[in-house]
Chains A and B, each alone.
Chain A
Amino acid sequence: MFSQTDINNYRKIKAPIELKEKVLSASKTSSAKKYFSVKSISSLAACLFIGLFCVFWFNNLNSPVTITPISPANNYPRSVESVLLVVECDGKIDVSSTDNTFYYYPEGSDNAECLTELKNVNNKLEIQWNVSESPSFLRVNGEVFEISYSFSEEKIVITKVKK
């Protein structure tokens, strides 16, 4: 087939010297382009968006909920008929109750509405509670609170029941 001389001469063939520099410099450009390609930037943007969304959602989910009586704020004799409570949270508030004992005032309205379910309320919600309906249960952002009146101590007791 091939003479030994042909084979020996063939195996001595080397790539031209200038080819190495061409390959190495072209590969550096190619690597840089790879890092800054549209695809990589899009992936990065998508990851950033998902990350921000998760942070926001997680933050919202775990932001502590507080329920505080504000009117009256301190004294709760047995004559107290209703208490104004403020429900507060850093993010959005989803609140619901099946007891029909809580009332709120929709924005721009003077009429109280019975609270069954409200969603995406910003930060703070004021609700009226009838003491005579004690105990009542309110679910806020997935957490259930028991609001009750202690006759012996004459005070409003708010406890977290379960998530």
Chain B
Amino acid sequence: MVLKPDNYLEKLYDEYADLLYRIALTHSLNQHDAMDAVQDVFLKFVSIDKTFTDEEHQKAWFIRLVINRCHDLTRKNQVREYIPLDEVYDVADEESHLSPSVKEMLEGLPEKFKTVLVLHYLEGFSVEETAMILKLSVSAVKMRLARARDYIKDKHKKEEFYV
């Protein structure tokens, strides 16, 4: 076991918490689950005492883990009722929530499309970086982005039709 300074976890938290929370929020669409997912990721890190070859590797690991944790929590939520974001919106804590327009765009989007969309468009990772994080080929990421855009386009068309 490699000995790390006592404040190592705190430094890692300060570095990654906001990023992980945002990604968790886009996947769970639920502040409480997003917080749980982020907490679980850091606890997992502590419990397995992981070391990384470099910072990019480290960032990718954290991102993948929080996405997977959100998927687990989402599956659990499908069998229990949860309170939608709108009903627990805390006015004093606006900076912890997704804007309604972003939330609307992500709602209903299949997970694999949502992930590439969030990482590339919202977080600003390049296609190559997104591919590295998700352990996908560049062409697979490009394909998913294209299909995500088509999905959203179709969804808007249907909404316009029904309005």
Contacts and interface: CB of A to CB of B under 8 A. Distances in A.
A19 B99 contact: no
A19 B99 CA distance: 20
Interface string A1-27: 111001101111111100110111011
Nearest to A35: B1
Contacts of A2: 102, 105, 121-122
Interface of B is mostly: helix
Contact of A15 (B9, B38, B47, B149): B38
B28 to A, nearest CB: 13
A14 B102 contact: no
A6 B99 contact: yes
Contacts of B121: 1-2, 7
Contact of B96 (A11, A14, A22, A31): A14
B60 interface: no
Nearest to B49: A34
B127 to A, nearest CB: 14
B77 to A, nearest CB: 19
Band of interface residues on A = 20 to 34
Contacts of A20: 10, 13, 17
B119 interface: no
Interface in A48-97: none
Interface of B: 9-10, 13, 17-18, 20-22, 25, 31, 35, 38-39, 42-43, 46-47, 49, 93, 95-99, 101-102, 105, 117, 121-124, 149, 152
8 contacts: A1-B152, A2-B122, A9-B99, A10-B122, A15-B20, A19-B17, A19-B35, A34-B49
